C-alpha cells in the first residue's frame, strides 16, 4: 500500500491514494480548522528550538509571576465583591433595606441570572478580543458596581446593582480557565487552578475580618454601606496592576523578551495536544461540543455542585448566626471556612498530582459535605459546638468545583471547543447558583432543612455522575487507541502532560526508541498539537481520568 495511514492523517493537504486512506483522511479535512492556531504561526517562523530544563523552569517562573499571580489577585477581589452581600447580611442588611420573604435570596440569584444571560457574549469575546483588555474592563465594572451598591436603600436598587455586578463578573472564571489552558501543561493546570482558588479562599478569611472592623468603624452610615464602599474601592485599586501584568497570549507576551522565551513557552504545551489560542471562532467546534455526550455529564455535575455551594455561600453567615452567636461573633466564625477551603485545595491538589486521577479525588470530596449537612439537620440546637463542627466539615465542598474545572477542561481540545465547553458548564453552574439560595426558605430560619436536604441529594447524585463519566472517558481512550492502530501509530500511549517533567522525559525516551524500532518518528504524535484540532479530531489526544 503506497504511503502510511498516519502520514495521510497528519497532512491535511495530502492527496488520498486509495479508498481506505480516504475514509480516514477525509473527516480530518472536513473538521480540522481552516486557520492556524496563533502559536502554530510563531512556531513555523521560529523552527525547532531545543530548550534546557533550566530554560523551561525559568520561563515557567515568569509565567507564574505574570499570569498566575494576576489571576490570583483578580479572583481574590472578585470573591470579596461577590461575598460582600453575605457579610452585609450579618450586619442587618435585610432590616435596614426593608427586605422580606425571598427578597434576600433573589439578591444572590440575580447575580447568576445575569451571568447566565451574558455567557454567550462572554464566550465569543474570549476568542475575538485580547483577553487582558476584556478582563480589566470587567474587573473595573464590577468594582464600580460594588461601590454603587452602598447607595441602594431598597430591594429594587439592590437588585439592579447585583444584576450589573453579575454581568461584569460573568467572564472572569471562563477567562481564567482559558488562560490556564493557554499557558500551562495539563500537569500544571490543576495546581494553578488551585492557586487562584486558594486566593478565593483567602478572601473568605480576610473578608470577614475587614467586615468586622468596618462594622465597628462606621458611625454616620450603615455598616452594610461601609462594607460595600470599602471592598469596592479596594477591588478597583487592583485594576491598574492587573492591566500592567497580565499578557494577552504566549505569542505576544511582553515579559518573554529573552531569545526564544516565547517559543519555549509554547513548545512546553505541545504534549497537551489542545493548542493555545486561535483568534477565529469555529462553528464546527461548537457543534462538536453538543454532539459530545460528556458535555451533558459535565453539565449535570456542575449543577449538582453549584446548587449546594450557592446556598451555603449566601446563607452561611445566617446559618452560623442561627446557632446563637451575635453579628460580630458570627462574622468572625466565617474565617475558619477559608482555612478549611485552603487545606482542602492543597490536599486534593497533592492527591491528584500524586495519583494522576481526578475522578476518585472529586468523589471523595463529596462525602464530608454530606456528613456535615446530615449533622446540621439532626443535631439538636442546644449543642452549639457539634453544629459548628458539622458546618465546618461541610465546607470541604470548596474543593469540588476547582477539581471539576480542571478535569472537564483537560478533556477538550480546540480553542473554540474549550471555550464553549466551559461556557456550557458555566451556564449550568449559574443555574445551580440561582437554585441554591431559593431552597433556603425564610420561614425555616435558622434551620433551613429543605436547603440542606437538597444539598445532600445533589452531592449524592454527583458521586454517581463522576463514576459514570470515568467509565465513559475510559471508553473514549479505547476508541482513540483503535484509531491510532488504524493509522499505524502506537496503540497504547501514556499521557505525558500529567507526568512530572522528569517522568515525561524518561517516558519520551522509551517511546522514541519504541517508535523508531517500528520505523516511526515520535514527532508524528504531536505535529497537530498547534493546529487547533479538537479532541475528537486528534488521534493523539488522551482523555484524563
Most confident of 47-61, 196-210, 251-265: 196-210
For residues 153 and 355, give the distance between their C-alpha atoms in angstroms, rounded to a whole number.
Answer: 52
Domain limits, the chain: 53-476
Measured distance CA(97)–CA(158) in Å, rounded: 9
pLDDT on residue 48: 61
Residue labelled with grid coordinates 517508535: 515
Residue 158 grid cell: 439592590
From 433, 340, 308, 335, select the one nearest 87 (Cα to Cα): 335
Q: Is the pLDDT at 10 greater than 90, yes or no? A: no
In a 10 Å sphere around its CB, with 0-12 CB exposed, 13-18 middle and 19+ buried, how is residue 54 labelled?
Answer: exposed
Predicted pLDDT of residue 464: 96
Please give the mean pLDDT across all residues of the chain. Answer: 80
Give the residue, 467 or 517, on which the prediction is more confident.
467
Mean pLDDT, residues 528-536: 69
Instruction: Choose between 99 and 135: higher pLDDT.
Output: 135
- Mean pLDDT of the region 447-472: 93
pLDDT of amino acid 531: 63
Q: How confident is the model at residue 7 (pLDDT cuts 50, 70, 90)?
A: very low
The total number of residues shown for the chain amounts to 545
396-444 residue pLDDT tens: 988 888 888 878 878 887 778 887 888 888 888 888 888 888 888 878 8
- The CATH class given to the 53-476 domain equals mainly alpha
CB atoms within 10 A of CB 355: 10
Between 186 and 296, whose confidence is greater?
296
| Cell of residue 396, nine digits | 470541604
Instruction: Measure the CA–CA gap between 252 and 479, rounded to whole angstroms.
Output: 37
Residue 155 predicted with pLDDT over 70:
yes
> What is the per-residue pLDDT across 77-128, written as a single tens digit (0 to 9) for each?
988 888 888 888 777 788 888 888 778 888 888 888 888 888 778 778 877 8
- Cβ burial, residue 3 (10 Å; 0-12/13-18/19+): middle
pLDDT value at position 46? 56
Q: How far is CA 449 from CA 309, 373, 395, in A?
A: 15, 9, 17
Checking if the pLDDT of 20 tops 90, the result is no
Show the cell assigned to 362: 472529586
- Distance from C-alpha of 304 to C-alpha of 469, rounded to nearest angstrom: 14
Taking residues 213-231, report their average pLDDT: 83
Separation of alpha carbons 179 and 40, rounded Å: 17
Average pLDDT over every residue of 317-326: 78
Give the alpha-carbon dihedral of 176, 178, 179, 181, to 10 degrees.
120
Question: Residue 336 pLDDT more than 80?
Answer: yes
Tell me the pLDDT tens digit for each residue of 158-207.
999 999 998 998 888 888 888 887 888 877 877 888 888 888 888 888 88
Residue 11 has pLDDT above 70, yes or no: no
Amino acid at each position: 500500500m503506497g504511503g502510511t495511514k498516519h502520514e495521510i492523517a497528519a497532512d491535511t493537504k495530502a492527496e488520498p491514494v486509495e479508498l481506505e486512506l480516504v475514509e480516514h483522511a477525509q473527516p480530518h479535512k472536513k473538521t480540522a480548522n481552516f486557520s492556524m492556531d496563533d502559536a502554530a504561526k510563531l512556531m513555523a517562523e521560529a523552527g525547532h528550538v531545543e530548550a534546557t530544563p533550566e530554560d523551561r523552569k525559568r520561563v515557567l517562573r515568569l509565567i507564574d509571576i505574570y499570569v498566575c499571580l494576576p489571576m490570583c489577585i483578580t479572583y481574590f477581589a472578585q470573591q470579596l465583591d461577590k461575598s460582600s452581600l453575605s457579610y452585609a447580611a450579618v450586619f442587618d442588611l435585610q432590616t435596614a433595606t426593608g427586605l422580606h420573604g425571598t427578597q434576600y435570596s433573589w439578591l444572590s440569584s440575580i447575580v447568576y441570572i445575569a451571568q447566565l444571560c451574558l455567557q454567550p457574549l462572554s464566550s465569543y469575546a474570549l476568542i475575538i478580543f485580547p483577553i487582558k483588555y476584556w478582563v480589566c474592563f470587567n474587573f473595573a465594572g464590577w468594582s464600580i458596581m460594588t461601590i454603587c451598591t452602598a447607595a441602594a436603600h431598597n430591594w429594587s436598587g439592590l437588585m439592579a446593582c447585583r444584576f450589573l455586578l453579575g454581568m461584569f463578573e460573568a467572564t472572569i472564571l471562563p477567562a481564567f480557565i482559558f488562560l490556564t489552558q493557554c499557558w500551562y501543561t495539563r500537569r500544571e493546570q490543576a495546581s494553578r487552578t488551585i492557586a487562584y482558588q486558594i486566593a478565593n479562599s483567602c478572601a473568605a478569611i480576610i473578608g470577614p475580618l475587614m467586615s468586622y472592623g468596618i462594622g465597628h468603624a462606621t458611625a454616620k452610615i450603615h455598616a452594610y454601606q461601609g462594607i460595600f464602599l470599602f471592598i469596592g474601592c479596594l477591588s478597583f485599586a487592583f485594576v491598574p496592576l492587573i492591566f500592567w501584568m497580565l499578557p494577552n497570549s504566549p505569542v505576544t507576551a511582553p515579559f518573554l523578551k529573552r531569545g526564544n522565551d516565547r517559543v519555549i513557552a509554547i513548545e512546553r504545551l505541545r504534549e497537551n495536544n489542545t493548542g493555545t489560542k486561535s483568534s477565529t471562532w469555529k462553528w464546527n467546534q461548537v457543534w462538536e461540543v453538543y454532539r459530545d455526550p460528556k458535555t451533558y455529564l459535565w453539565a449535570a455535575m456542575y449543577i449538582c455542585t453549584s446548587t449546594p455551594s450557592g446556598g451555603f455561600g449566601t446563607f452561611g453567615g445566617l446559618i452560623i448566626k442561627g446557632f446563637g452567636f451575635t453579628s460580630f461573633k458570627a462574622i468572625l466564625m466565617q474565617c475558619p471556612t477559608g482555612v478549611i477551603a485552603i487545606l482542602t485545595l492543597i490536599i486534593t491538589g497533592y492527591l491528584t498530582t500524586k495519583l494522576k486521577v481526578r475522578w476518585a479525588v472529586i468523589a471523595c470530596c463529596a462525602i464530608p459535605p454530606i456528613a456535615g449537612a446530615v449533622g446540621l439537620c439532626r443535631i439538636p440546637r442546644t449543642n452549639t459546638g457539634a453544629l459548628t463542627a458539622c458546618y465546618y466539615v461541610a465546607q470541604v465542598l470548596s474543593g469540588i468545583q476547582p477539581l471539576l474545572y480542571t478535569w472537564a477542561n483537560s478533556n477538550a481540545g480546540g480553542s473554540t471547543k474549550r471555550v464553549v465547553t466551559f461556557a456550557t458548564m458555566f451556564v449550568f453552574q449559574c443555574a445551580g447558583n440561582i437554585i441554591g439560595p431559593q431552597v433556603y426558605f425564610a420561614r425555616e430560619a435558622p434551620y433551613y432543612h429543605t436547603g440542606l436536604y437538597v444539598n445532600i441529594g445533589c452531592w449524592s447524585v454527583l458521586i454517581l455522575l463522576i463514576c459514570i463519566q470515568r467509565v465513559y472517558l475510559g471508553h473514549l481512550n479505547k476508541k482513540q487507541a483503535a484509531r491510532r492502530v488504524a493509522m499505524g501509530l502506537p496503540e497504547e500511549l501514556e499521557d505525558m502532560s500529567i507526568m512530572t517533567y522528569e517522568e515525561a522525559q524518561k517516558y519520551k525516551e522509551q517511546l522514541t526508541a519504541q517508535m523508531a524500532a517500528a520505523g516511526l518518528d515520535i514527532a508524528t504524535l504531536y505535529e497537530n498539537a498547534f493546529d487547533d484540532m479538537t479532541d475528537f479530531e486528534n488521534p493523539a489526544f488522551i482523555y484524563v481520568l
